[in-house]
Amino acid sequence: MSLQLKNFLADDELNKEQLLALITLAINIKNNPADYSQVLAGKSIAMIFEKPSLRTHVSFDMGINKLGGHALYLGQQNGKLGERERVSDYAKNLSCYADAIVARVFSHDSIQGLAEHASIPVINALCDLYHPCQALADFVTLTERFSDLTKLKLAYVGDGNNVSNSLMIMAATLGVDFTLVTPEGYEAEQSVIEKSQAIAVDSGANIKTTTNIKAIGAQDVIYTDTWISMGDEDASKKAELLAHFAPFQVNHELMKNADASVVMHCQPAHLEEEITTELFDSEMAVVFQQAENRMWAQNAVLTSLFSQ
Ligand code: NVA
């Protein structure tokens, strides 16, 4: 299937047809993995990780293996991106050997630098601004559960971060009703909100933002993520931050108030902070379905990139 994708860097690069095609492909690969077992035969994927990872590392490594390819993990042993050598040189060197680059980086600029200078596709495996592989997997999970996404009401409660940015942009593209609920001072960047609202004009999506948890309204699904993202840790401010976020904890009471039946979390979860253990372990949580779908969603992206 050709989606005319050169890279997979940020959610706003995909239109509705491309996103729906990726979701359908992910579900098809999940149901018929043997049909895709040679997609990456003879291909090698370099995976750069500037930050820790469990799901992203394992799901890319094992997913690439399931497509018949070879994955190479590059941690920090070669020095920080852009310090030991320029991002452009890193990209050009990897292009000599690899067929694609998967990168988890601190700054979106690094992802853009890699894509600009590599002659091979680059996939964003999380940066400060976006986490498109996660959002794609989440909309695969929501499609499995609800089928018609345009009737879905999804609220994200917590820190306005890379995960909420990607969800908001993809929700806008897909025509999903999306409410972003964040504490004051932790809202999404205005540019991302404006981008999502502009995309929503075409799709008919309703994109709302609020800092009032009581204004969450009726929802089908509530999503949350850590209150402190990788790279934002500051031990001296932690107690103050936890107190500021406390009213935004996702728990059974919030689920009941919003009349929501499904709770999502990209993990790792900080139990008793952004979500209660009881809710995370409950039947309402689809967190391991989300985790599994990371692999199928990423395999859909890889299959599309290599089927041009
Ligand atoms: N917002 C989190 C997501 C982790 C998968 C972070 O960036 O640390």
Residues 158, 46 within the same domain:
no
126 Cα nearest atom in ligand 1: 7
Phi then psi dihedrals of residue 267, to 5 deg: 65, 155
Using most ligand atoms within 8 A of CB, pick from 124, 128, 266, 298 the residue to mutate for ligand 1.
Answer: 266
106 with 176, same domain: the answer is: no
> pLDDT tens digits, residue range 190-202?
999 999 999 999 9
Q: Note the pLDDT of residue 78.
A: 74
Q: Tell me if 229 CB under 6 Å of ligand 1.
A: yes
The whole-model pTM stands at 0.97
Strand partners, 45: 71, 100
pLDDT, residue 2, reads 63
pLDDT for residue 79: 74
Q: What angle do CA 60, 61, 67 make, to 5 degrees?
A: 85
Please check whether residues 143 and 104 belong to one and the same domain: no
**Phi/psi of residue 106, each to 5°?**
-75, -45
Q: What is the pLDDT of residues 275-284, one digit of tens each?
A: 999 999 999 9
Residue nearest to atom 1 of ligand 1 (CA): 229
Check whether 255 has a pLDDT greater than 70: yes
Cα(54) to ligand 1 centroid in Å equals 11
Residue 187 lies in a domain: yes
Range of the domain at 47: 11-131+294-305
Q: Are residues 141 and 244 in the same domain?
A: yes
Q: For the chain, what is the domain count? A: 2
Q: What is the pLDDT of residue 3?
A: 79
CB of 287 sitting under 6 A from ligand 1: no
The rounded percent of the chain whose pLDDT value lies above 70 is 99
Residue 300 within any structural domain of the chain: yes
Closest ligand 1 atom to residue 267 Cα is: 5
Average pLDDT for 279-298:
98
Q: Is 249 in the pocket of ligand 1 (CB under 6 A)?
A: no
Do 123 and 51 belong together in one domain?
Answer: yes
| Residue 209 placed within a domain | yes
264: in domain: yes
Give the mean model confidence (pLDDT) for residues 43-48.
Answer: 98
Ligand 1, closest atom to CA 163?
A: 1
Report the pLDDT value the prediction gives residue 308, as an integer from 0 to 100.
65
Q: Which two tokens stand for residue 163?
A: 């995960």
Residue 271 and residue 242 share a domain? yes
State the catalytic residues. Answer: 104, 131, 134, 225, 266, 294
144-188 per-position pLDDT tens digit: 999 899 999 999 999 999 999 999 999 999 999 999 999 999 999
Q: Is residue 81 part of a domain?
A: yes
Q: Is residue 2 part of a domain?
A: no
Instruction: Check whether residue 74 and residue 185 sit in a common domain.
Output: no
The reply to whether ligand 1 has any atom less than 6 angstroms from the CB of 230 is yes
Average pLDDT rounded to a whole number, residues 234-248: 94
CB of 266 closer than 6 angstroms to any ligand 1 atom:
yes
- Is position 39 within any domain? yes
| Closest of 8, 17, 257, 282 to residue 125, by C-alpha | 8
Q: Does 58 share its domain with 126?
A: yes
Q: Which atom of ligand 1 is nearest to the CA of 56?
A: 5
Predicted confidence (pLDDT) per residue in 114-148, tens digit: 999 999 999 999 999 999 999 999 999 999 999 89
Do 89 and 154 lie in a common domain? Answer: no
Helix (H, G, I), strand (E, B) or coil at 266: coil
Residue 52 CB burial class (10 angstroms; 0-12, 13-18, ≥19): exposed
As a whole number of angstroms, the distance between CA 280 and CA 137 comes to 18
Q: Is 198 in the same domain as 284?
A: yes
Angle between helices 132-146 and 16-31 (to 10 degrees): 70
pLDDT band for 24, please (50, 70, 90 cuts).
very high
**4 lies in some domain:** no
CATH number of the domain within which 122 lies: 3.40.50.1370
Residue 1 predicted with pLDDT over 60: no
C-beta 225 within 6 A of ligand 1: yes
Mark whether 85 and 138 lie in a shared domain.
no
Whether residues 126 and 149 share a domain: the answer is no
Separation of alpha carbons 195 and 103, rounded Å: 24
